[in-house]
A = this chain, B = another copy of it.
Amino acid sequence: MTHLGIGLIGTGYMGKCHALAWNAVAPVFGDVPRPRLAVLAEATQELAEKKAREIGFERATGDWRTLVTDPAVDVVSVTTPNAFHADMAIAALEAGKHVWCEKPMATSPADAERMLAAARASGRVAALGYNYIQNPVIRLIRRLLDEDRIGTVNHVRLEMDEDFMADPEDLFSWKSEATSGYGALDDFGVHALSLIRVLFGGVRRVCGHTAKPYADRPTREGGRRAVETYDIATTLIELENGASGVIALNRSAWGRKGRIAVQLFGAKGAIAYDQERMNEVQLYTAEGIRETQGFRTILAGPQHPPYDRFIPAPGHGLGFNDLKIIECRELIRRIEGEAAHLIEFEDGIRIERTVDAMARSAHGGGWVEVS
């Protein structure tokens, strides 16, 4: 296969992450051709050129529209703020490019549906950046479920908590404006749902509640402004496979930095995981003599692919940015026509619909079926 030509739009938090992944994917894996870093787009030509030099892109542009139609580009990384996702992804797909778009898909269900339609019409790969599912430890969990190590799962609990909105005296920002979305539901909910998606499939119905820990926040001008988004969201769920569960999200949770805590209870055992200790998974199986049963802490190692492609020794630790390198390789394989572990637009839209059902339930106060 030929070397893919890469177009990267955006070099912020996730743009840098994509850049590092495109650079590292070939040396890390050794089984995919080294991508050709073709064009980088940023808000201005000057910034684009600076970043292209740092990262090693051949060309730079201040106009993303020229990037998505550039003949040297085969895949477009869309890493700009959420409100731009739809236009950029659709334009790239219409130009016949594969798309790797950061989550969430869009800022409205209608935009997300338009993106899906464009992907279907193009016949190109349209993947979303749900990197937590790429953790070798999450793949291990998937494998443990497949091998029936904990039996049929009948109850799940997911928590996602950070504290970047925890200080009530932080200034009012766009994150507290209704135009940014629901709040914790779309900011964090999509991550929790991406894990449910790869581990179990879909959610059947939901019953949600949202809350504002702080009614208002100070403004730069010295006054106070009412908060419009919900930093806390808690939802009872029923999965399509019949399991019950709860998803609890809080972006004002003091002390939590990157917590994504998962608890899975099955008929033969249980699994627990916390993203803050992303190289560990807890496994309990009701096997063997009772005197020595207990949750065991499994440390990620080369026996948990593709950890082995990064480090040959166990317990040395992958990092958050490494997950993107794994995702990048999945994307390349998918473009090559192979099966891959990815959340594409077809799955992403179901995550968005579930978030929407959660929001409607929280508003209306009862159980809502996921469409």
Contacts and interface: CB of A to CB of B under 8 A. Distances in A.
Contact of A316 (B24, B54, B214, B257): B257
Contacts of A30: 54
Nearest to A311: B320
Interface stretch (A113-121, A297-305, A336-344): A297-305
A98 interface: no
A270 B254 CA distance: 6
A291 interface: yes
Q: Is the interface of A mostly helix, strand, loop or mixed?
A: mixed
Interface string A281-305: 0011110001111111111010110
Interface string A238-270: 100000111010101111111100000111111
Contacts of A286: 166-167, 254
B365 A365 contact: no
Nearest to A267: B168
A246 B265 CA distance: 18
A311 B23 CA distance: 17
A209 B366 CA distance: 11
Q: Among A151, A250, A367, which residue has the most Cβ atoms of chain B within 10 A?
A: A250
Nearest to A313: B258
Interface in A209-238: 209, 211, 213-214, 232, 234, 236, 238
Given A155-B250, A255-B284, A295 B297 contact: yes
Contact of A276 (B144, B256, B299, B310): B299
Contacts of A23: 23-24, 27
A70 interface: no
A150 interface: yes
B319 A310 contact: yes
Given A257-B313, A265-B254, A294-B296, A34 B54 contact: yes
A28 interface: yes
A157 interface: yes
B317 A278 contact: yes
Contacts of A279: 276, 317
Interface of A: 13, 16, 19-20, 23-24, 26-28, 30, 34, 53-56, 140, 143-144, 149-151, 154-155, 157, 159, 162, 164, 166-168, 207, 209, 211, 213-214, 232, 234, 236, 238, 244-246, 248, 250, 252-259, 265-270, 275-279, 283-286, 290-299, 301, 303-304, 310-322, 365-367
Given A254-B266, A276-B299, 7 more contacts: A27-B55, A234-B246, A255-B294, A275-B316, A290-B303, A291-B304, A310-B319
25 contacts: A13-B312, A13-B313, A30-B54, A150-B254, A154-B232, A155-B213, A155-B232, A157-B159, A157-B248, A164-B313, A246-B248, A254-B286, A255-B270, A258-B313, A275-B316, A276-B279, A276-B315, A292-B298, A297-B297, A310-B319, A311-B320, A316-B319, A319-B319, A365-B367, A366-B367
